Structure 1
Amino acid sequence: MKKVHLINHTHWDREWYFSTMDSLVLSDEVFLDVLQELKNHPEAKFVLDGQISIVKEFLSIRPEWKGDIQELVNRGQLFLGPWYTQSDAQLVGGISILRNLMVGIYEAQKISSVLYVGYLPDTFGFNSQMPTIYNHCGIDSAIFWRGIDYTKIKSPYFQWKGLGSSKVYAVNLIDGYGSIPQLFTDDDFLKNKIFAQEQKLRAKTDLEEILIPIGNDQNTISHDFTKKLKEINKKSESEYISSTLDDFINYLREQKDSLEIYEGEFRTPTTGRVHKTIGSVRMDLKLLNEKTEEKIVRRIEPLMVLAQQIGVSVSKELLIAAWEKVMEGQAHDGMAGCVTDSVAQDIRHRYKQANEICDGIENRIKNQIAKRLGLSEDEVLLFNVTGKELKQSQIIRIFSKYDSISIPEASQIEVLECIKHPARKNIMVEGKNRNYFVDEPAYYEYEVELKTEMPKFGYRVIHIQEGDSVRIKKSDIQKIQNDKYIIEVIDGKLHLQVGNKTIKDWLIFEDCGNDGDTYDFSPLRNDSPLYFSDVEVAKVCIGSMRQIMDVEMKMTLPEKLENRIKGSNLNVIKIQIRIVLREGDSDPEIQVQLNNTVESHRLRLGIKTDICTDHSIASTAFGFIKRPVLKEVPKNWESRYSEIPVDLEVMEENVSLTDNRNICTVYSKGVKEYQIVEDRIYLTLLATTGELGKADLLYRPGRASGDTTKKGHIPLSVPEAQLLGVYEYDFKVSYSESNFDAEQIIHASDTFHQQDIYYQLQHFNEFICRLDSKLLVNYPKDLKNKCDLLDLEGLDVFSIVPSLYDSDSFLIQIKNLTKQKKDVNLSRLKSTYKVSVVDANENVKELTNSIGPYELLTIKLTNR
């Protein structure tokens, strides 16, 4: 007999046009109702939205319910996890998505068992490597709504394959998680809702059993479910059952051989809006997210492992607390930016808190190591937490009483900046027996670039001495160069020369009106883009390790959207561009700073590549994806799509154009939205708006997104989404005569994202590291001046992180972003550590010495 699996659930946005605190208050009513209904009906079942954060928050106000929740989970009535929050699956890094599951499963296990189903019912599209991430966390299923294209797959039930061998059983909620908010039994409801939905699904699949969710945003449980099912089954030819996500996935496992296989991402706006242009909304939040992700993954996690190995104790719960603050902002609505201004303020504040936790952890670790080394203020700690040789020079900021310095351990050193801080009188000193006052002498603050031999995964000490500083010098020539590139200003334009090729008008800025909202950019009707590339000012500094060109451009733009067509009420936006060429054949680094003074516009940087091709290759979570360049939007697209299928795409860290003879790759920190137009790569710096939901857009006809067109919901103004103020961006551009090489791009990206980690135990300015003046514990001087702990050369390690489950263990996580199987040599690790291959949840797997194409490998190292 045919079956219909009904899943009683709620979708719980932590914040949206309401705040997390609003949700917390609402949960006190809704969750209590859910729990009481489950207790009164032992046969009832309920999915609490697949994220554990909302349960933790509920238990913070109702701790007495923890035992009941545990019992309901153990009885198979209530389902928790596996996510910490319902993550965005494109605009955050792949490591963040992985950590979200790792932390979510860890926190859910503190309460009870975990729902091992990849449940993300409302996320705005998915990267192509979600199956790989799921598999690495012990999950073999995915349940989702948005982004599917039924011209590429016939059934809503199929196998979704990652770029490698990983697969999951996939369930598409064809009309979303909220197509049937509550279950009723009257004839009209059965005919127009439940039976109609069944027939729609059966028209797409030959399977005997199908799944229909019952629930919606912030909905409570459908009561008397069993009684209602009996009424429905009296009138149905199919058997309707109260089911679980696990039960339906088990059914799909039995149908494995009959399921289609799909490979790729989900970004097509057919069954629901995916908001393809949301990648540049509220760029302040997106830039904050990227910087915080980078800080945790590239600094804090490996520093905590280093600390653990030399006996510095830092609670892993501090690390989890930092991640949780970040993950709360990475939920799909928050990370996308379609939230109110008050919610955006909350998100910014949580990033502030996460950064304060991270800075405090780093400060504690470095301070304790410095004290255990017995360092003076003329000594500086340098760290390398990659486990590999550092590929480029480091830039450090140090303090000294000397007006000119040298560092004997450096093979090269150059002062980039020197600031003299004047003497101060009557400065209080808190002495042992009494407070007294002294005159504080003048001192100097240096920004120094240096090269020195560094240990692999360890630290070393360097010394500041009085000496003849080599300082970077100003030049009157408007040109910088290294062994590979020449960049110069000619006739007021930036030109780049690489080899025998000159790329004229290398960088331009494009601006147009934005008639959209915080869900989607949309052009203003009858508006045309404006282009700017004239250099107003160019200043050059020449050093032995780098050459710097500082360029200023100006854009004169209409102040508001209504001024666009007439070109009235003009404002000037100043754009400062710093271009850096390091010595050798290093690629140009571009730092852009702009002061946004106009509203409702989209501003993009266009980088000329001199390559015309029909596809781009973009980095995605743990892989690369090839996408076609759209020559023109399909005619009559409104009949098939819910928004324009424009090729505004998302990258994780870089995007490349190649014609198989030449390649240009742009590397980015935080800017993820790009578009290829002819031979230029356009990167969206910001798309500003003042409206949360807006109807009848050129790019998105019909209703406004969100709830603003529902009865009783008014339009919402979000003036802070106009992003007035100063914003900074970082890019690197590479040109070469070669084809696409994934390994070269990975290594270049890692170098671009290198973190310079150092510490000086000094008393000139104790607010450089905020906790220095309060870290007063004295430690025995028991460490050596150089520490070399872990050699990871030859391994594509993407993170070194403390174990969440064992205090004497840590994880190294390895990626293979190529099409070939790769050997993994663990022999040199086995001499020092007990080595286990595990999944991301630290469940032991079969020991292996290889990693498949586009797959992940986690190695657990335990001290012997």
Structure 2
Amino acid sequence: MNKQCVIHIISNTHWDREWLHNFQETRMRLVEFLDLLLEVMEDDDEYRSFVLDSQAVPVEDYLAVRPENEARLRRLIESERLLIGPWYTCPEGFEVNGESLVRNLLMGHKVAAAFGHVMKVGHTPFSYGQNSQMPQLYAGFGIDTILFYHGVSHDDTPNEFIFEGADGTCILGSQMSSMARYNFYHGVYRPAVMGKTTADREYEWREGGSPFHRAALEQALEHYLLLAPPRTVDKKRFAQCVRALRDAEANTATTRHLAFMMGHDSSVADPLEKEMAALTREALAGDEVVRGHYEEMMAAIRAEADWNDLQVLSGERRVPKPMPATLHLYSDVLSSRTRMKYRSSQAEYLIQRRVEPFAVAGMGLG
């Protein structure tokens, strides 16, 4: 693609409420993350927006510890700089029933709306595939786009496509990028700042950075933390990498709009993002470079895409996505911790099929 492109640099994260650490430890990290984000966004108007992984519950978890910061968070959400929702939490779409997905979206909308704005983009990259009724579920909440990469690949379709639901509902879909939700981080930031490729996971003590790890048996498998991470950008390598990324994304896109995203697992605002945005404008002088978010990007893609030329995908989406390393679907999650899944299914059934119908009947009878 030789025509001018519009590069959307998007600051985002993927935030598991509980994953490598238990809930309370994860919340400690969430508090540190949002403390930093508030400071960065209030001090730098050029840091236009941050996407909080399409969830609303992190805001509640944070305010349970920092209630004094509610007004500051509310200002950022109302001004559409901090994007939350439409989900309440990140669901694995094949582990719960359809009604639970509806309730999740309903709660997410209520919480996000109470803070001033609901992100109206169907952002579901956290589910290992997509069920066939996601277009119908999203449309019911006034959402006409879906972003995911688990369950679709560029062998199936270019970056943008039409996702047709089981009932015939069609919405605009996007694979986000050739490297999922973190193409800017792995394709540009990591090599230009860390000096490492995506596949290079080894770290030598002589590299500095003060690697830290707690000396406790129960934390033996935890990740190391760099207390003094690199803060210098290799400008020559940055220019090479950002041009290569631009060309790779342009080859898969159906419009001029390309997403450059920073959001890997538990990622936080990075002080170098402002400098990297400026370096991107310098390296891609023939393109337009903006700092934005998913709502703006998807609105621009919708306005420019030729709906008649987009490929239509339908049915359950359960294919792996080849990238530099294949992005698996982890279908084994369906059979892990079966006791928990059984109890969850029981709770869904009892509440949705027994308790609520009788409660409604009781209300009707006075």
Question: What range describes the TM-score normalised by the shorter chain of this pair?
Answer: 0.7 to 0.9
Aligned match for 2:296, one of 236, 247, 255: 247
Cα shift at 1:283: 0.9
CA offsets per residue over residues 244-269 of structure 1, 9 Å max, x none?
A: 10111111221242432221222112
Cross-structure match for 1:180: 184
- 1:69 lines up with 2:78 in the alignment: no
Structure 1 residue 15: Cα displacement: 1.0
Of the candidates 26, 29, 34, which is equivalent to residue 31 of structure 1? Answer: 34
Instruction: Give 1:308's aligned residue.
Output: 363
Cα 1:201–1:95 change in 2 (3 A) is same
1:591-606 matched pairs, under 5 angstroms: none
Distance 1:77-1:43 versus aligned 2 partners, 3 A rule: farther
In 2, Cα distance between equivalents of 1:166 and 1:223: 42
- CA 1:303 to 1:256, structure 2 compared with 1: closer, same or farther past 3 Å? farther
Query: Offset of 1:226 from its aligned partner?
Result: 4.2
Question: What's the CA shift string for 1:588-633, capped at 9, x where partnerless?
Answer: xxxxxxxxxxxxxxxxxxxxxxxxxxxxxxxxxxxxxxxxxxxxxx
Deviation at 1:219, TM superposition (A): 1.2
Q: Does 1:189 align with 2:193?
A: no
- Kindly name which structure, 1 or 2, has the bigger radius of gyration based on alpha carbons: 1
Give the superposition deviation at 1:160: 1.0
For 1:307-386, list aligned pairs within 5 A: 307-311=362-366
Tell me the distance in 2 between the aligned counterparts of 1:180 and 1:285: 37
Q: What is the aligned partner in structure 1 of residue 313 from structure 2?
A: 262
Instruction: Please tell me whether the aligned partners of residues 9 and 277 of structure 2 are also in contact (alpha carbons under 8 angstroms).
Output: no
Task: Please say if 1:21 is aligned against 2:70.
Answer: no
Which letter does structure 2 place at the counterpart of 1:103? M
Aligned partner of residue 277 in structure 1, secondary structure: helix
Give the partner amino acid of 2:244: A
Aligned to 1:223: 271
Separation of aligned partners in 2, 1:122 and 1:231: 30
| Helix, strand or coil at the partner of 1:231 | helix
Aligned pairs (5 A) from 1:35-54: 35-44=38-47, 45-54=49-58
Q: How far does the alpha carbon of each residue in 1:826-863 deviate from its partner, in whole angstroms, 9 at most, with x for none?
A: xxxxxxxxxxxxxxxxxxxxxxxxxxxxxxxxxxxxxx
Partner of 1:107: 111
- 2:98 aligned residue (84, 91, 94): 94
Paired residues, number: 309
TM-superposed deviation, 1:285: 1.5
Q: C-alpha offsets along residues 31-63 of structure 1, whole Å, 9 cap, x if unaligned?
A: 110111111122321011111111111011111
Could you tell me how far apart the structure 2 residues matched to 1:110 and 1:93 are?
A: 26
Secondary structure at the aligned position of 1:72 is classed as: helix
Moved more, 293-302 or 215-224: 215-224
| TM-fit CA distance, 1:131 | 0.6
Aligned pairs for 1:431-830 within 5 A? none
In structure 1, the gaps of 5 or more residues are 312-864
Q: Deviations over 1:138-172 (max 9, x none)?
A: 1111111211133332x111121112231221111
Question: RCO higher in 1 or 2 (8 Å CA, sep ≥ 6)?
Answer: 2
Question: What is the one-letter code of the residue matched to 1:263?
Answer: S
The separation in 1 between residues aligned to 2:84 and 2:96, in whole angstroms, is 23
Aligned to 2:349: 294
Offset, 1:8: 0.3
Contact conserved, 1:42 with 1:77, CA < 8 A, in 2? no
Distance of 1:181 and 1:234 partners within structure 2: 18
Of Structure 1 and Structure 2, which has the larger fraction of its residues in helix? 2
Question: Does the CA-based 8 Å contact 1:160-1:170 persist in structure 2?
Answer: yes
Q: Could you say which residue in structure 1 is the equivalent of 2:7?
A: 4
* Mapped partners of 2:320, 2:113: distance in 1: 36
Corresponding letter in the other structure for 2:288 = E
In the superposition, relative to structure 1, how do residues 270 and 219 fare at CA in structure 2: closer, same or farther (>3 Å)? Answer: closer
- Give the distance between the partners of 1:28 and 1:15, measured in 2 at CA: 14
- Relative to the length of structure 2, the TM-score reads 0.79
Is the 8 Å Cα contact of residues 92 and 126 (structure 2) preserved in structure 1? Answer: no
Indicate if the aligned counterparts of 1:121 and 1:143 stay in contact, CA closer than 8 A: yes
Structure 2 counterpart of 1:309, which letter? G
Please tell me whether the aligned partners of residues 147 and 266 of structure 1 are also in contact (alpha carbons under 8 angstroms): yes
Normalising by the residue count of structure 1, what TM-score does the alignment of the two structures yield? 0.35
Instruction: State the shift of 1:3 in Å.
Output: 1.0
Q: Any conservation in 2 of the 1:169–1:253 contact (CA below 8 Å)?
A: yes
**Aligned match of 1:282 in 333, 337, 346?**
337
SS of corresponding position for 1:159 = strand
CA contact (8 A) 1:145 1:172 kept: yes
Q: Distance in 1 between matches of 2:75 and 2:321?
A: 41
Matched residue SS, 1:215: coil
Tell me the equivalent position of 1:273. 328
Residues in 2 aligned to 1:66 and 1:179: alpha-carbon distance in whole angstroms: 32
In structure 2, distance between residues paired with 1:111 and 1:301: 28
Residue identity opposite 2:167 in structure 1: G
What one-letter code is carried by the residue in structure 1 that aligns with 2:253?
A: T
Asked if structure 1 preserves the Cα contact closer than 8 Å seen for 2:144 and 2:172, the reply is yes
Q: What is the RMSD of the two structures over their aligned residues, measured on CA atoms?
A: 1.9
CA distance in 1, matches of 2:245, 2:359: 52
The match for 1:214 is 262
Matches within 5 A, 1:146-185: 146-153=150-157, 155-173=158-176, 174-181=178-185, 183=189
